[in-house]
Structure 1
Amino acid sequence: MDFQLYKKMLRQWAFEQEPVFIVGPERSGTSLLFQQVSNHSAFCDFSHATVETFCFIKPWLLLEPAGPDNYEMRVYLGQKNLTAFQDSISPLVERNNQLTSLGMPLAFANDPNRDEIWFERRYKHILRAFVYHSSKHLGGKRFVEKTPAHIRCTSEIFETFPKAKVLICTRDISEIIASHKKRYQKEIALGKAKDDPSIAWLSHSVEQYANYLVTIESKIKELTSSFGDACKIVPYGQLTSNPDETLSRLFEFLGEETAGSVSSKERKQQAWDPLLNQAPQKNEVEIEKYLSKNEIKLINAKRSAFSDYWF
């Protein structure tokens, strides 16, 4: 197919689709929510793993050879389908190689020239092709993806897929921070060095975490103000304490029948996270075990900056 016709087809297809993107701060329940949505018969099935592609944060990885950095993207595309995907957008691959040789940055999210990089590198078209090929690989079912950091790219999500739905996870801020500390200690116990780059996101100070969550609160307000009808906040406490009602409202928002949700008996079993084999239930974190009294006091002093849906 002529590339311009292919791009036109992708645009029409993208304007008809209603993909779902699950975002929010890390350790806020995004994996649990992704599990519940992907268990529904209308959505692509990822009951075996909670895949985070980072496709909107790092779209250039879709143009690189197969490797660890784009493994999760290839889970969506199919591990053997990366070359066929890249061949389908070969003019965009060539364009990006030229822009890189001219010194244009790959990353756009935090760049002062964000809009220019996003447009010139044609990331919108690359991501439409990615979702299109992924959907075909996954049996033509409704696309669902979970990357917490995509909350920083919601304007690009809606530019790419105007009918997209975004689910925003929130959780009590003290539980989020304590959960980071708990996970960090677990990784160290499993043998990772304290300065291992792979766990750097778990080793910040409580004040740094609290300030980061304040920025997420601002992002949520901005997102719901601009795209309120296409966004739904899903507090972790509601999902775990009242799962049936919460999921019923969630699937109604997504335009799907609750009856399509897979029961716990039908669900594929996971060895890596036993909690996800069960109905939604709270993953208790002993806050006092991971946070000092002064750290808890610092967190409490920040609570006035947060909306009720965090608690």
Structure 2
Amino acid sequence: MPDPAATLASAMVDAYNAGDMERVITLAGPAGGDADEVVQLLRGLAEQATGRYERAAATFGQLATQKPAVSTYWNNLGVACRLSGDEHGAEHALATARSLAPDDADVLYNLGLLYIQQRRWPRARETLLDAVERAPGLIEARLQAAYACYVCADNSCQEAMLHGAAGWPAQPAEQALILAAMLSTQGDLEAALHTLAQAQLPDPPADAPLRLRLAAQRALLHERSNQLDLAQQALAQVPLAALDALPADADQARAEGWRAHAALALRTGAWADAAALYRRVLALPVDAEARAGAGFGLASACDRLGQHADAWQAVDAAHAAQLEIAREVVPELLAPDSQPLQMAEVDRSAYARWPPATASASEPDPVFVVGFPRSGTTLLEQMLDAHPDFCSMDERAFIHELTERMEQVGQRYPHDLASLSSTEVEQLRASYFRMVGRVVPDLGPRRLVDKNPLNMLCLPMIMRLFPRARIIVCLRHPCDVLLSCTMQSFRSPAFMVLCSSLQRLARGYVAAFEQWFRQVNVFAPQVFEWRYESVVENSHEQLARLAAFLGVVDASPMARFAEHARNKRFISTPSYAQVTQRIHPRAVGRWRSYHAQFEPVLPLLQPVMERLGYRA
């Protein structure tokens, strides 16, 4: 005689494999809480698949109680609790599953998803990277790990997680939007657009808001790569009337559509239209990232309209939103006396203990472009990159990453630079050029341009690895620099904190240059001062001086930087639009429209300002 329990389980397996979840639940109904283990498991999975998350949690809770040593049941319980909104129950269940199966990638993945839901980004990043380490082929884990790295501004790990993403299967639309945004920050526009084109949409009518969001992101990607005709074509698929007609619960789609229209309005000089659109976004109940983006956009539009009080009010609100983001990632930096900029120095006595410099046995030393952000470093980078003798690699933190590698192997930076053997120095140089090779595989005989403004704080590492390197420090009136930083949206949480108030930003600027002055006195590097105002006044003269410093005979290709930048398509810094235009004096002295806001910080800036040759 057939076993009724086995017959029931077999029927439920058949229904489950056929995708008939309602029949699975119906078959399990009479079995009750004392049902066979397989019956309960299938019922729980079917309840979860049909959105009955609380019932699924109850079912898996029974299983976990009956079989407390089975990690799978705790894992299932954790997922059901997370989906039902019971974050405390989810964390307890997933922690239990992890204790039972510490190397189970599925458990780590689900725990990472919970941390993302809780916006505990550093823990999400660590946990999801652990999941990928145990299951490198788990694409869902790679994508979510990359997202956590993206929020934490861990660019290197983000790129590692997304390696090969252009060949991944099509993603659900929500995931595709996230993936495309990350790919675009890496400069991989084609992969980002392909991801959006392949996005899997839900059935109508749920697909309508997502179609608009996909088109809006396409428009922003083209705008970001200075392809304005293509951006306008994509924007035509996001008519304002369609955004207005969306249901009440589609605020995210409305916000993203309005922001795309506003971004293109800014690029075409329709300042008032852009301001009105950004105000519409800010009137919606959107998240901190959207409020920050709209706030900075509104500030830019108001600034161009000459509405400086409104611009400052908008930028204040944008920084308040960014602090919400930073609080989730770097809460330790929110203390008033914290230092968001990482600084480390070598004094004269320590430098005297360094062994004699040795020439690199491989590639020639790079040309380093440094300076405080928003000092004209991107403009100079594009000028150099326009010359056939040079090749830039966009903004990379490779020098800083080498300092972290020293720390990871137990070497103190910068103290242990003195004890590095010539072999270890050559190994670090080789590591640097391996990282460069992944970004610029066709460098060939061209000289590398390493433009990263805050490499000015890494002079010890530069001088240990590349003691004969040419270094160009970009200078601009400190108040114009600070205003530009204040008006820009930075992705680094540490820089969000640094720019959160003009007083804090001014302190960081002064500290950075005071360290720069001290380190230049110690190392006496080959430094050329590139002054933004002098370039605006007479670019040909400054380019001739720069060419002489670099040993270049013909500087004329550098003057064609705007055309070169337009053809380059992707430039990662906020200056991506400005460097496609001719040099103009509009940005010189711009801070004077905000003199009242700067008055409290002028005494702090005065000594550095005078040393750099500027006056208030």
> Offset at 1:225?
2.6
Structure 1 position 167 matched with structure 2 position 472: yes
* Paired residues for 1:43-82 under 5 Å: 43-44=390-391, 51-59=394-402
Structure 1 position 296 matched with structure 2 position 296: no
Q: Which residue of 2 aligns with 1:130?
A: 432
For 1:52, give the aligned amino acid.
E
Going from structure 1 to structure 2, the CA distance change for 1:310 and 1:143 (only over 3 Å counts) comes to farther
1:21 to 358, 361, 368: 368
Going from structure 1 to structure 2, the CA distance change for 1:304 and 1:22 (only over 3 Å counts) comes to same
Which whole-Å deviations, capped at 9, do the CAs of 1:102-144 have from their partners, x for residues lacking one?
A: 7x37x836xxx56479779946623334337637632221111
Task: Tell me, yes or no, if the aligned pair for 1:170 and 1:233 is still in contact at 8 Å.
Answer: yes
- In terms of Rg, which structure is larger? 2
Q: Percent identity?
A: 20
Cα distance in 1 for partners of 2:469, 2:552 equals 14
Going from structure 1 to structure 2, the CA distance change for 1:265 and 1:288 (only over 3 Å counts) comes to closer
Which whole-Å deviations, capped at 9, do the CAs of 1:180-239 have from their partners, x for residues lacking one?
A: 12113xx7xxxx9xxx83862563321221111212222332344344461111121112
For 1:298, give the aligned amino acid.
P
For 1:300, give the aligned amino acid.
L
Cα distance in 2 for partners of 1:124, 1:268 equals 34
1:274 to 577, 580, 583: 577
Structure 1 position 108 matched with structure 2 position 404: no
1:140 to 445, 455, 468: 445
Structure 1 position 209 matched with structure 2 position 513: no
Cα distance in 2 for partners of 1:300, 1:217 equals 15
Q: Which residue of 2 aligns with 1:30?
A: 377
> Offset at 1:275?
2.2
> Offset at 1:249?
0.2
> Offset at 1:276?
1.2
SS of structure 2 residue aligned to 1:280:
coil
Relative contact order, CA 8 A, sep 6+: which one is greater?
Answer: 1
> Offset at 1:37?
1.4
2:458 to 143, 147, 153: 153
Task: Tell me, yes or no, if the aligned pair for 1:174 and 1:299 is still in contact at 8 Å.
Answer: no
1:218 to 511, 514, 517: 514
Cα distance in 2 for partners of 1:214, 1:274 equals 28
Considering only aligned residues, what root-mean-square deviation do their CA atoms show, in Å?
3.6
Cα distance in 1 for partners of 2:446, 2:511 equals 34
Gaps of 5+ in 2: 1-357
Task: Tell me, yes or no, if the aligned pair for 2:565 and 2:579 is still in contact at 8 Å.
Answer: no
Task: Tell me, yes or no, if the aligned pair for 1:23 and 1:169 is still in contact at 8 Å.
Answer: yes
Which whole-Å deviations, capped at 9, do the CAs of 1:4-48 have from their partners, x for residues lacking one?
A: xxxxx994235xx242001111111111111111211111255xx
Task: Tell me, yes or no, if the aligned pair for 2:543 and 2:555 is still in contact at 8 Å.
Answer: no
> Offset at 1:149?
1.3
Q: Which residue of 1 aligns with 2:485?
A: 180
Task: Tell me, yes or no, if the aligned pair for 1:11 and 1:128 is still in contact at 8 Å.
Answer: no
Cα distance in 2 for partners of 1:208, 1:124 equals 39
- Name the structure where helix makes up a greater proportion of residues: 2
Cα distance in 1 for partners of 2:529, 2:612 equals 11
Going from structure 1 to structure 2, the CA distance change for 1:278 and 1:137 (only over 3 Å counts) comes to same
* Paired residues for 1:79-94 under 5 Å: none
Task: Tell me, yes or no, if the aligned pair for 1:178 and 1:287 is still in contact at 8 Å.
Answer: yes
For 1:240, give the aligned amino acid.
V
Cα distance in 2 for partners of 1:33, 1:265 equals 11
Cα distance in 1 for partners of 2:478, 2:602 equals 9
Q: Which residue of 1 aligns with 2:233?
A: none
Cα distance in 1 for partners of 2:497, 2:539 equals 29
Cα distance in 1 for partners of 2:586, 2:462 equals 30
For 1:19, give the aligned amino acid.
P
> Offset at 1:303?
3.7
SS of structure 1 residue aligned to 2:483:
helix
Cα distance in 1 for partners of 2:547, 2:428 equals 29
Task: Tell me, yes or no, if the aligned pair for 1:22 and 1:166 is still in contact at 8 Å.
Answer: yes
Task: Tell me, yes or no, if the aligned pair for 1:22 and 1:145 is still in contact at 8 Å.
Answer: yes
Q: Please report the TM-score for the alignment, with normalisation by the length of structure 1.
A: 0.65
Task: Tell me, yes or no, if the aligned pair for 1:170 and 1:310 is still in contact at 8 Å.
Answer: no
Which whole-Å deviations, capped at 9, do the CAs of 1:248-299 have from their partners, x for residues lacking one?
A: 101101111234524258625155623212343345274366x461x31123
Cα distance in 2 for partners of 1:265, 1:170 equals 20
2:549 to 242, 253, 256: 253
Task: Tell me, yes or no, if the aligned pair for 2:403 and 2:461 is still in contact at 8 Å.
Answer: no
Going from structure 1 to structure 2, the CA distance change for 1:183 and 1:117 (only over 3 Å counts) comes to farther
Cα distance in 1 for partners of 2:586, 2:423 equals 41
Following superposition, which runs of at least 4 residues in structure 1 exceed 4 angstroms of deviation? 116-124
Structure 1 position 308 matched with structure 2 position 604: no
Cα distance in 2 for partners of 1:226, 1:116 equals 14
Q: Which segment drifts farther, 21-30 or 274-283?
A: 274-283
Q: Which residue of 1 aligns with 2:238?
A: none
Going from structure 1 to structure 2, the CA distance change for 1:20 and 1:172 (only over 3 Å counts) comes to same
